[in-house]
Amino acid sequence: MADLTKTDVKKIVKDEIDRFVSNEMDKEVKGFIKKSNSQTRNELTDLIANSLESVFKTIWQKRQFWKTDIK
């Protein structure tokens, strides 16, 4: 077997990461989310809730602009 160069190792690692992301990542995430008490599911739920709250607060703060300036 030939000696691997640094470039060869980087290519192998990149290929493996790409393969994982394209094939396995969805399965792994679905597995975490299916478990009702998993930390990942709780973090995802908190992230979505905080995002929606932030959007709502921003829209609420800009309501006067929407009422008066846009007709």
Condensed to tens digits (0 to 9), the pLDDT of residues 9-29 reads 999 999 998 888 888 877 887
Residue 46: closest CA among 54, 57, 34: 54
pTM of the model: 0.49
* Mean of pLDDT values over 36-62: 89
Domain extents in the chain: 6-68
